[in-house]
Amino acid sequence: MSLIGTSLPRIESRNKVTGRAIYGDDISLPGMVIGKILRSPYAHARIVSVDTSRAESMDGVFAVVTGADAQYIFGENIADEYPLARGKVRYVGDEVAAVAAVSEACAVAALNAIEVAYETLPAVFEPIEAMKEDAPLVHESSPRNVALHVDFKRGDPEAAFAEADVVVEGEFYTSNVYQGYLEPVNAVADWQPPRLTLYTALQSPYRSRINIARALGLSVSQIRIVCPEMGGGFGGKVSTNLKVPLIAALLSMKCGRPVKITLTREEDMEAGRPRAGTVVRSSLALKKDGTFLAKKTHIIYDNGAYTGFSASVMKTMAVRAENIYRFKACETQADLVYTNKTPTGPYRGFGTPMALFALESLVDMASEKIGMDPLEIRLKNIAQKGDVTLHGYVFNTCGLKECLESVKKMRDADKERQVSSCSTTVKRGYGVALCIHNSGNRLSFGPFDGSTAIVRCEEDGYITVFSGEQDCGQGSDSVLAQIAAEVIGVGYDRVRVLTKDSEVSPFGIGTFASRVTMMGGNAVRLAAGKVRDRLISEAAVMLNCKPQELFISNGIVQSKVDPAKHIEISEIARSVLHKTRGEHILERAVFFANTEVDQKTLYGNVSLGYCFGAQLCEVEVDVETGKVRVPKVYAAYDVGKVLNPMGAEGQLQGGIVQGIGMALTEKLAYGEDGRLQNPNFRDYRMMNIVDIPEVRIEFIETNEPNGPFGAKSIAEASMDPTPAAVANAVANALGARAFRLPIEPEHVITLAKGGARCC
């Protein structure tokens, strides 16, 4: 029986339910000491002096480091930060110094003994303010605080707008949102000159290694990164929040002992790399029959104090979402703007949820304006299979239409659905939103997009997979195991996927851009195919028959012609090992994407396959309390062939619940002094088990020719359209629209007073 399309538990399940899975903070090395970080209390200040003498002389303290020990500048997109601040601090939480001591209590006492003199500077917190001529500069080298400006046109937007019967426009605001992974960022650094070993769960260990080397003045091969189990990442652990491993490394280099740093939840929220708040000014031009013509957009993106990966996120945000429709022209600008707040970074969706909030709100506004059903207007304009979009995306497969029809059908057929009209205080509404996501993105790593896998058949017939693509908790290792098992013809429980370790794993670009199934999966498919072919050709010799008549099932090579001819793969593997004097059956393969993008105009087919989805949300809005509840979400997705339905469903359920949080409650709130006001799970409200909606899911299966077994991706797309769908549903319920996320109760009450729609 084929494993593809069956629900399989993840391979590491047993370790996770028994408490045996090892996460970074569980690691303890001989002689290890504890590191703690001293952070800036000011949003913007000059560091006048740092006196560490008292801390250094304390018993139990092994090392103290400051900006003076951190002389190399680094950065994923733009080199604009040091492992510890030098000269200036740029946000509340900026890392100023660190200590390593025998215990946490001792490290805290030592931090308190460090004296830092600051001279405060005027600060700026809102990107629109920051772009003004007279605004304080976060980085002197970036006038008007603009770290990057992107600007492009396709087609003739002026002509398209002139031709339009209707134009709708809006200014859409989103907030900084926290990834909320349950495991705070941590690292253990062990400096044994000339080599540094880092135990830290990074979504992108090899890319991070390049940056870590740069930031420490080491050469890459001096650094070994071992990834323990990752307690959730969602983009927050891609490669940008390297401060923790870097500071642990500096401490270890200074005291010659292993050093562990585990952030507190407050620190993780204050100094993580959350999703950026954005402002999207956008207008959409259409004909009165509903045909979309063109779109103009200006994105202002809150970079925070340092750039990290945000330039890539912003570029993707400027392009991706609108490929779901057949626009003829567009004009887009985007500004990446420094502010004196937490540096921002990638979070599930890579800018797409914010872009879709604006786009899908505009589409609903357009549908209202011309009096056309929101689903109809979408059906009229959506992209289809075979399209080459305005931005150069090529759709080999596209189930958007089927997704849209499916959510409508699910809702209409739902017998349990409340159809009663609203009470006077509780209004019901429905909202829809579509989405697109890539499976790997050519934009995110300059030189290439590809992946390498090594597959080895052990002499007992078990299979070991080596891949450089890290599992961040979403289950990619299990997908790789499933693919290897299917291709070779062994049981799923016979495959092991090796922990990512830069000492032995092949190079991997990393786990983001929903790329692992497509890139890592294809590499494993190819390498496993070579192992299978090798096993069969060896078996043909051993069984004295033709390779063409052989196949492998359940770990046994069998003949289709003569059932008496069969041999266990373990026997073949052993025989090869002995015959070759010690060489395993070991094959490797590289899979690469012949995708392309122009880094300036952002035009090009960035991915080998695009997944699509539609979500239809029901909301109940209490106009007196302002509370919004989402009782139901209908979701239909084209993710290509569904490899593991249970895993895919889990991704969707989790993403949708995160999306509702972003729509309704989640916001990192900064005070007037730039300090984060809600750095804990009590005040930063993520969805709880009592809040969750019923989610109904349907998969529209397409067969993506580039994907392993026809599969595309799912991880990020699950969340992309949810905030937009909820916002559209609230607008539908109230007859008045929110232009700001999250949609908070006070705002709902105001909207309800203004809008007067009853059903």
Distance CA 417, CA 693 (A): 13
DSSP 498: P
Nearest C-alpha neighbor of 272 from the set 711, 684, 593: 684
Q: What angle do CA 752, 757, 758 make, to 5 degrees?
A: 110
Stretch that binds another protein, among 9-17, 124-132, 297-305, 428-436 (CB under 8 A): 9-17
Residue nearest to ligand FES (CB): 182
Is 650 one of the binding residues for ligand FES (CB under 6 A)?
A: no
**Nearer Cβ to ligand FES, position 631 or 650?**
650
Report the residue from 75, 184, 245, 508 that binds another protein according to the rule CB under 8 A.
Answer: 184
Least Å distance between CB 51 and another protein? 18
Given candidates 81, 190, 229, 716, which one binds another protein under the rule CB under 8 A?
A: 229
Q: Which amino acid is at 669?
A: A
My answer on whether omega of the bond before 742 falls inside 30° of 0, hence cis, is: yes
The pair phi, psi for residue 637, each rounded to 5°, is -135, 140
> Is the alpha carbon torsion for 196, 202, 206, 207 positive or negative?
negative
Residue among 2, 18, 49, 544 that touches another protein (CB under 8 A): 18
Structure-token pair, residue 584: 């395993």
In the 8-state DSSP scheme, what is residue 2?
-
Does 353 sit near another protein (CB under 8 A)? no
Contact 437, 393 (CB under 8 A): no
631 within 8 A of 694, measured Cβ to Cβ: yes
Task: Return the number of the residue (234 or 306) whose C-beta is nearest ligand FES.
Answer: 234
Complex with another protein: residue 112 or 120, whichever CB lies closer: 112
Q: How far is the C-alpha of 299 from the C-alpha of 358, rounded, in Å?
A: 10
Instruction: Say how many residues touch another protein, by CB under 8 A.
Output: 68
547 is an interface residue for another protein by CB under 8 A: no
Q: Let me know: does 47 contact 96? Beta carbons within 8 Å.
A: yes
Backbone phi, psi, residue 527, to 5°: -65, -40
Choosing from 98, 110, 189, 324, the residue that interacts with another protein (CB under 8 A) is 110
Which residues touch 389 (CB under 8 Å, ≥6 apart)? 323, 326, 383, 395
Bridge partners, 561 (sequence order): none
Query: Considering the rule CB under 6 A, would residue 9 count as an interface residue with ligand FES?
Result: no
Contact residue for another protein among 121, 166, 254, 264 (CB under 8 A) = 264
219 DSSP β-pair partners: none
Under the binding rule (CB under 8 A), the answer on residue 5 touching another protein is: no
Q: Are 293 and 160 in contact (CB under 8 A)?
A: yes
CA distance 661 to 651: 16
Q: Which of 29, 73, 79, 109 binds another protein (CB under 8 A)?
A: 109
Residue closer to ligand FES by CB (options 202, 286) is 202
Contact pattern from residue 223 through residue 262 relative to ligand FES, giving x for each residue in contact according to CB under 6 A and a dash for the rest = ---------x------------------------------
Residue 625 binds another protein, judged by CB under 8 A: no
Q: Decide if residue 85 touches another protein (CB under 8 A).
A: no
Q: Looking at residues 639 to 668 of the shown chain, list those that interact with another protein (rule: CB under 8 A).
A: 646-647, 649-650, 652-658
Shortest spacing between CB 497 and another protein, in angstroms: 15
Q: Give every CB contact of residue 139 below 8 A, 6+ residues apart in sequence.
A: 80, 90, 145, 147, 338
Q: Should residue 182 be labelled a site residue for ligand FES when binding is judged by CB under 6 A?
A: yes
Site for another protein in 278-337 (CB under 8 A): none
Min dist CB 265 to ligand FES, Å, is 8
Q: Which helix (H) or strand (E) holds 482?
A: helix 476-488
| Residue 350 in contact with another protein, rule: CB under 8 A | no
Residue 220 engages ligand FES in binding (rule: CB under 6 A) = no
How far apart (Å, rounded) are the C-alpha atoms in residues 681 and 377?
40
| Chain position carrying tokens 């809008």 | 755
Sole window of 102-110, 155-163, 421-429, 597-605 interacting with another protein (rule: CB under 8 A): 102-110
Strand partners, 637: 613, 699
CB of 36 to ligand FES, least distance (A): 18
* Beta strand ranges found along 144-286 (DSSP E): 146-154, 166-173, 186-192, 195-199, 223-226, 259-262, 278-286
CB of 61 to another protein, least distance (A): 7
Q: Which stretch binds another protein (CB under 8 A): 23-31, 145-153, 516-524, 605-613?
A: 23-31
Q: Which residue has the tokens 């087919």?
A: 605
Residue 416 makes CB contacts below 8 A (sequence gap 6+) with: none
The partner in contact with residue 689, picked from another protein, ligand FES, none with C-beta cut-offs of 5 to 8 angstroms by kind, is another protein
Binding pattern to ligand FES, positions 471-510, x when CB under 6 A?
--x-------------------------------------
- Mapping DSSP onto H, E and C, the string for 20-62 reads CCCEHHHCCCCCCEEEEEEECCCCCEEEEEEECHHHHCCCCEE
For residue 585, the minimal CB distance to another protein (Å) is 31
* Of 183, 360, 486, 538, the one binding another protein by CB under 8 A: 183
- Binding of residue 159 to ligand FES (CB under 6 A): no
Contact letters (x/-) for another protein, 397-416, by CB under 8 A? --------------------
46 binds another protein (CB under 8 A): no
17 binds ligand FES (CB under 6 A): no
Whether 177 contacts 347, CB under 8 Å:
yes
Give whichever of 687 and 711 is closer to another protein, judged by the CB atom. 687
Determine the Cα–Cα distance for residues 322 and 204; give it in Å rounded to an integer: 28
Q: Which residues contact 110 (CB under 8 A, 6 or more apart)?
A: 36, 55, 58, 60, 61, 64, 99, 101
Q: Judged by CB under 8 A, which of 1, 2, 49, 59 binds another protein?
A: 59
Dist CA 231 CA 471 (whole Å): 10
Shorter beta-carbon distance to another protein: residue 459 or 698: 698
Residue 184 binding ligand FES, by CB under 6 A: no
Q: Which is nearer to ligand FES, 297 or 651 (CB)?
A: 651
Subset of 700-739 contacting another protein (CB under 8 A) = none
Residues 6+ apart with CB under 8 A from 596: 442, 604, 605, 606
Please report, as ranges, the residues that interact with another protein according to CB under 8 A: 7, 9-10, 12-23, 25-26, 28, 58-61, 101-103, 105-106, 109-110, 179-184, 229-234, 264-265, 472-475, 646-647, 649-650, 652-658, 680-682, 686-690, 692, 695
**Residues of the shown chain interacting with ligand FES in the complex, contacts defined by CB under 6 A:** 182, 232, 473
